Amino acid sequence: MSFLHLKQVSKIYGKFTAVKDFDLAVEKGEFISLLGPSGCGKTTTLQMVAGLVPLTAGSIILDGRDITNIAPAQRQLGVVFQSYALFPHMTVAQNVSFGLEMRKVPKAEREARVKETLGLVHLSALADRYPREMSGGQRQRVAIARALVINPPVLLLDEPLSNLDAQLREEMQFELRRIQRAVGITTIMVTHDQAEALSISDRVVVMEKGDITQVDTPYKLYEHPRNNFISSFVGKSNFLTARVEKSDAGTLVSIDETRMKFAPVINENWKPDAQQVTICVRPEKVELSAPADGLIEGKITTRYFMGNQWLITVATKAGNIAVAIANRGTPPAAEGETVGLVWKQEDCRVLQSEAPRP
């Protein structure tokens, strides 16, 4: 039996369905990320778990107890908001202690728990500072400490890193995972940042228009996307229209005009009788070669140096194909040059046929 189970949860505002039949079982100690674009329903889902938004349908079971109609305060969940919501007139220690005071925890125990939690988030030396005297990353850790000090069964994080600059954001996502693992707390995080979700989650729930489109481990989600939306939202992808052909060798896929045939890695949603399919290949799986050695050839139209890699666009008969090449100290072919493109059969995915997303 799962520790937290959202059973067919829905939220409807008038004629608008924000979340539809959301069903997710979360194990104790698991780190789950709700990932998707703005308006997909991920924050609404988190707020329903917290009790801040009532359900239209469905139920929420926590450790065998139905908490669907229980008030937020009685759920005893830890919540970290996007803005951190710290009290500016209170010191770090006072902010962290606030929830314990509301629960009338004795002073000696309160001070011990605050000290222990500040040590966990590496803020012991800053206990007497005020939020205005701290960096964004430090304020975020105060908010996490305040949520953890009450020993909640579940920690809910609503875009906790969105207010940080890029470098600090990357540092803090690993710090967040360290803290979560140290405590062993069941955690649900809302984010629109795919790199953030992939790097620190046990499983990722991808949402689109209120629906769950795929739930998987980060690696499987990236390497085996179920459809075009996931392929384009989680990382970058090249989409090539292709057709299915039968031969003595079995089922082959042929890219239009190029007659490039290869055995596909069939996606579970692909229909065996489909005549037209979409091929997905990640830019980092594509390599440059001499024109005659490529599966397909084309001309480089753009080339951007990103420091750790080169991002290249190659115009081919099958359309523009993006290529990501690791920087190994030597510049690749220049704009205007004709090159071949190669990739391994096992690096391609055959998706259900649908219009590729921009």
Is beta strand 296-305 parallel, antiparallel or unpaired with respect to 250-255?
Answer: unpaired
Name the fold adopted by 4-227: Rossmann fold (3.40.50)
Amino acid 247: pLDDT: 57
Phi, psi of 155 (to 5 degrees): -110, 125
CA distances from 326 to 235, 286, 289, 305, 331 (A): 16, 11, 15, 10, 10
The domains of the chain are located at 4-227, 228-281+345-358, 287-342
CA distances from 195 to 131, 174, 219, 285 (A): 28, 12, 12, 18
What is the DSSP secondary structure assignment for residue 285, as one 8-state letter? Answer: G
Cβ count near 333 (within 10 Å): 17
Can you tell me the distance from the alpha carbon of 68 to that of 167, in angstroms, rounded to the nearest whole number? 39
Low-confidence ranges of the chain (pLDDT < 50): 259, 265, 355-358
Amino acid 357: pLDDT: 40
Amino acid 356: pLDDT: 40
Can you tell me the distance from the alpha carbon of 183 to that of 243, in angstroms, rounded to the nearest whole number? 51
| pTM given for the model | 0.86
Amino acid sitting at position 132: R
Amino acid 246: pLDDT: 61
Q: Measuring CA to CA, which residue among 219, 231, 298 is closest to residue 258?
A: 298
Residue 26 β-bridge partners: 4
Is beta strand 238-247 parallel, antiparallel or unpaired with respect to 276-281?
Answer: antiparallel
Can you tell me the distance from the alpha carbon of 338 to that of 258, in angstroms, rounded to the nearest whole number? 16
Q: Measuring CA to CA, which residue among 311, 353, 316 is closest to residue 331?
A: 311
- Give me the count of residues in the chain: 358
CB contact at 8 A, 341 and 316: yes
Domain at 287-342, CATH class: mainly beta
Consecutive H or E run containing 31:
strand 31-35
What is the DSSP secondary structure assignment for residue 186, as one 8-state letter? Answer: E
Consecutive H or E run containing 170:
helix 166-183
| Burial class of residue 352 in the structure, from the number of CB atoms within 10 Å of its CB (0-12 exposed, 13-18 middle, 19+ buried) | middle
